[in-house]
Amino acid sequence: MSEPVVLISGGGPVGLTLAALLDAGRGDCRVVVVEPHDPPRWNPDEMGLRVYALSRSSQRVLERAGAWPSIAARRASPYERMRVWEGDAPRGLGSIEFDCAEIGEPDLGHIVEDILIRDALLERLAGSRRARIVTGTTIDTIDMRRDAAAVTLASGETVHAQLVVAADGGRSPARTLLGLPTIGRGYGQHALVAHVATERPHERTAWQRFVDGGPVALLPLVDGRSSIVWSLPTARAAALAAAPDDDFLAALEDATGRVLGRLGPISARGRFPLRIQHAMRYGRRRGVLVGDAAHVVHPLAGQGMNLGLADAACLAHEIDAALEAGLDIGDLGVLRRYERRRKADNVDMLLALDALHHLFRLPGPAAVLRAVGLTAVDAAGPAKRWLARRALGLHLDCERSRGPSGRAAA
């Protein structure tokens, strides 16, 4: 009997991580990754504009995928503290600080470029005999049959897969072809991203201030600069994206309260729309969603990629368990076990970030309540440690193998 095939639509970090985990897994299956764009090329002399704050859990997933050593050796920016505040003072009333020392960890995570993660995963998969990367084409049709899904690519090739995984983003074409609907809405905001030099050192600290319009974050980079993520109403974001550097930097200094002093020079800028979105179901027979194809969250806590990598780790475990048990990996029962393990955590994070977004946009007296709340949590050691451990993903069980019953394996 031939090995079952998993076809992954999307060659981003989540899709490639799933491919690498399956390639390194205990079960026997082949993996085909379909990506419409050419493979990325990481540039050691230029920091990629799109970065993620990877948690400890995500680091461990990438270690199991065989990519983290390459990432860490090239350009991973650790951060040890996170300071969040509202108002003028980054320390004092209305602020909270998380420190890795308080929870016995070497850091709170790493800032890593999207293009570096993908490059390291592609490097890891390059010598695989079980994984194949198909670039420059898209999925045209998916024909669900009894024993496989016949997937026709725009290149003319047809792949017969026992499981089709949509890992192709919030606007996932594969999700549409699989007939898995979502609910969601736009925030009427865009996030501006760029890298900026700062007068004062970032101290390996992620700085985030809540101001009118949305939060602005300064994320520490290994070259001494900071990566900015600034959420703003769409019209304001468009105007600032097109503004001269001096005007943009002046607005950014006001927004950050000059917590790191004068700012500049600045890199090229980018922006992307913000929305909340969640799939009503994560799977159907022979089809399943991971990452942004399943859920899109507000970037104010930098958790979107961490949720996606947790999805990849969990799905890889369920596929491995099904293969070892001799089950059909496209069976709905297998996919529902994955959904049960991931959906609650994803929904909890989605709703928490949505609530924070709306809370910090409330005017007037709400500002006083927010300030008191932040200060109270900062003073409450157990509560703050619980939040820090959750942000690091230390509560997740994705690293534990499970049998086909869904129970943890001995």
Least confident of 63-67, 103-107, 188-192, 404-408: 404-408
Rg of the chain over all Cα atoms, to the nearest angstrom? 22
DSSP-based three-state secondary structure for 236:
helix
* pLDDT at res. 404: 40
What is the arithmetic mean of pLDDT over 130-153?
A: 97
* pLDDT at res. 61: 97
Query: pLDDT digits over 190-247, tens only?
Result: 999 999 999 999 999 999 998 888 899 999 999 999 999 999 999 999 999 999 999 9
pLDDT band at 377 (very low <50, low <70, confident <90, very high): low
The better pLDDT of the pair 402, 168 is held by: 168
Give yes or no for residue 409 having a pLDDT over 60. Answer: no
C-alpha–C-alpha distance, residues 261 and 343, integer Å: 42
Give yes or no for residue 135 having a pLDDT over 90. Answer: yes
Averaged pLDDT of the chain: 90
* pLDDT at res. 57: 93
Query: pLDDT digits over 272-289, tens only?
Result: 999 999 999 999 999 999
pLDDT band at 343 (very low <50, low <70, confident <90, very high): very high
C-alpha–C-alpha distance, residues 193 and 215, integer Å: 12
Architecture of domain 5-79+110-184+276-366: 3-Layer(bba) Sandwich (3.50)
Secondary structure of 89-130 in HEC code, one letter for each residue: CCCCCCEEEEEHHHHCCCCCEEEEEHHHHHHHHHHHHCCCCC
Q: Rounded to the nearest 10 degrees, how much is the dihedral formed by the CA atoms of 317, 12, 393, 97?
A: 180
* pLDDT at res. 202: 98
Q: What is the DSSP string of 38-88?
A: PPP---TTS--S-EEEE-HHHHHHHHHTT-HHHHHHHH-EEE-EEEEEESS
* pLDDT at res. 203: 96
**pTM to 2 decimals?**
0.92
What is the arithmetic mean of pLDDT over 250-267?
A: 97
Q: State residue 320 phi and psi, 5-degree precision.
A: -60, -45
Query: Domain map of the chain by residue range?
Result: 5-79+110-184+276-366
Share of the chain above pLDDT 70, in %: 88
DSSP-based three-state secondary structure for 214:
strand
Q: Which residues fall within 8 angstroms of residue 110, CB to CB, at 6 or more apart?
A: 53, 54, 59, 72, 76, 77, 78, 79
25 and 320 Cβ atoms separated by less than 8 Å? yes
Give yes or no for residue 368 having a pLDDT over 60. Answer: no
pLDDT band at 89 (very low <50, low <70, confident <90, very high): confident
* pLDDT at res. 91: 79
Query: pLDDT digits over 288-323, tens only?
Result: 999 999 999 999 888 999 999 999 999 999 999 999
